[in-house]
């Protein structure tokens, strides 16, 4: 009897639970139908509200997507504002170069076609383009692609192989020529933010950012010579960036990207750029004459010593000889049927400074001379017979 009573109450309680659940949500439609069929007609159950199984999403704001390129400055960080401003200012000044040339095959004695790519910067409204010498040195045809998608064949104007600088020219409408603005590279500081703009791997007008890692580096390039005042950066530089501009935060050219330190040929965070002041000194000569007229001092050879540079040979009638500088003393003696020359190098002047700056290597010597112009006067400090003397020498135009 007790068991029967418990079963009765359990059944009644289960029915009550079913009624409560079914009134709240249609979780089990079949069970709900059965319950409704048992209810009196006078108490109809209204249809429950439809509850979605997921969150309700608003309709997409198509107008906002259409205005995605009109980003307000308020939506950008201060750093992003500078990045965007630099790119928009200089983007149209940067061009994409593609080159075609012929390379001789040493095995089959055939001329093989070659192709290359690089970057360049518009210099003026006459269509002059700045790039690296190594980008165009073997090219027979150079094609220049502008930001508007139009391409023009370029003509070679001139180059300075030692400093890896070249100028080409295109006959393009002035409205698409946007010259880049130069800055004074003497004002650069390590840690300053920089931007590299170019065409790495053929990807047009790509912007990368970084800082100046070091200044006044020396970079060996051609003919056992080195470029002075090289800027070292950590911005990504890759094949195709060569010849493109290195920019400051105002979008001004402070250098030209020229090389990377890499074992794989790709960026390793160590890039190099030719300083803008070096470019500004050489480019006008290339445009005017097609070559660089280098100043000449009239010293054709020196020996490097721990104390300075010992003059090994003077150009006869050159500026150094006319200024009174001395080279080795050469004496000729006859021994039997032969004339024997003896060279007394102790009689030569030892150059220890130029305009008060110490000099120890031939490259330092040549670099300082090349930083001057024909007609400039420099003062050499030399040691002669154990005494220091100062000798003024006026430079002339070399060949």
Catalytic site residue from 119, 242, 267, 276: 242
Say whether pTM exceeds 0.85. Answer: no
Q: Active-site residue among 93, 121, 128, 134?
A: 134
Write out the DSSP string of 117-166.
Answer: EEEEEE-STT-EEEE-HHHHTTEEEEEEE-TTS-EEEEEEEEEETTTTEE
Torsion-angle region of 31 (φ positive above 0: left; ψ -120 to 50: alpha; else: beta): alpha
Across 249-270, average pLDDT:
75
pLDDT in tens, 15-45: 443 333 333 333 333 334 433 444 444 444 4
> What is the pLDDT at residue 15?
43
pLDDT of residue 61: 45
Q: Give the model's pLDDT for residue 70.
A: 55
Confidence of residue 54 (pLDDT cuts 50, 70, 90): very low
What was the pLDDT predicted at 372?
87
Residues ≥6 apart with Cβ < 8 Å to 375: 394, 395, 396
Q: Tell how strand 253-260 and strand 329-335 pair up.
A: unpaired
242 catalytic residue (yes or no): yes
Lowest-confidence segment of 53-57, 328-332, 336-340, 342-346 by average pLDDT: 53-57
The whole-number pLDDT of residue 325 equals 94
Pick from 28-32, 197-201, 232-236, 384-388: least confident = 28-32
- Tens of pLDDT, residue by residue over 113-161, are 677 888 999 999 999 999 999 899 888 899 999 988 899 999 999 999 8
CA angle 143, 145, 149 (to 5 degrees): 140
Catalytic residue among 22, 119, 121, 164: 164
Secondary structure element (H or E) that encloses residue 23, with its range? helix 2-24
Residue 78 has pLDDT above 80, yes or no: yes
């Amino acid at each position: 009897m007790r068991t029967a009573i418990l079963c009765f109450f359990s059944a009644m309680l289960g029915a009550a639970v079913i009624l409560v659940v079914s009134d709240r949500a249609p979780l089990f439609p079949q069970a709900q139908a059965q319950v409704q069929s048992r209810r009196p007609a006078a108490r109809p159950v209204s249809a429950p509200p439809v509850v979605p199984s997921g969150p309700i999403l608003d309709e997409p704001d198509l107008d906002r997507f259409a205005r995605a390129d009109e980003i307000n400055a308020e939506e950008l960080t201060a750093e992003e504002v500078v990045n965007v401003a630099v790119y928009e200012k200089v983007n149209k000044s940067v061009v994409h170069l593609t080159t075609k040339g012929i390379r001789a095959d040493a095995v089959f004695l055939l001329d093989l076609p070659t192709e290359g790519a690089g970057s360049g910067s518009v210099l003026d409204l006459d269509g002059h383009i700045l790039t690296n010498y190594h980008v165009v040195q073997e090219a027979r045809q150079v094609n220049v692609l502008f930001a508007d998608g139009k391409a023009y064949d370029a003509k070679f104007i001139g180059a300075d192989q030692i400093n890896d600088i070249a100028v080409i020219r295109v006959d393009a409408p002035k409205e698409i020529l946007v010259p880049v603005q130069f800055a004074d590279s003497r004002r650069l500081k390590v840690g300053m933010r920089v931007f590299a703009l170019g065409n790495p791997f053929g990807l047009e007008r790509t912007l990368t950012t970084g800082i100046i890692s070091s200044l006044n580096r020396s970079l060996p390039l051609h003919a056992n010579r080195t470029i002075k005042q090289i800027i070292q950066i950590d911005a990504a530089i890759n094949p195709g960036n060569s010849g493109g501009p290195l920019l400051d935060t105002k979008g001004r050219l402070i250098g030209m990207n020229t090389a990377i330190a890499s074992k794989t040929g790709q960026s390793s965070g160590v890039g190099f750029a030719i300083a803008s002041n070096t470019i500004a000194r050489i480019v006008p000569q290339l445009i005017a004459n097609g070559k660089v007229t280098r100043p000449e001092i009239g010293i054709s050879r020196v020996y490097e010593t721990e104390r300075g540079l010992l003059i090994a040979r003077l150009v006869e009638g050159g500026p150094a000889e006319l200024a009174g500088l001395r080279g080795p003393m050469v004496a000729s003696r006859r021994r039997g049927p032969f004339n024997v020359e003896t060279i007394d190098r102790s009689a030569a002047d030892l150059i220890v400074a130029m305009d008060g700056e110490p000099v120890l290597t031939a490259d330092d010597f040549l670099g300082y001379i090349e930083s001057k112009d024909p007609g400039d006067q420099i003062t050499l400090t030399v040691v002669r017979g154990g005494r220091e003397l100062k000798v003024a020498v006026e430079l002339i135009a070399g060949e």
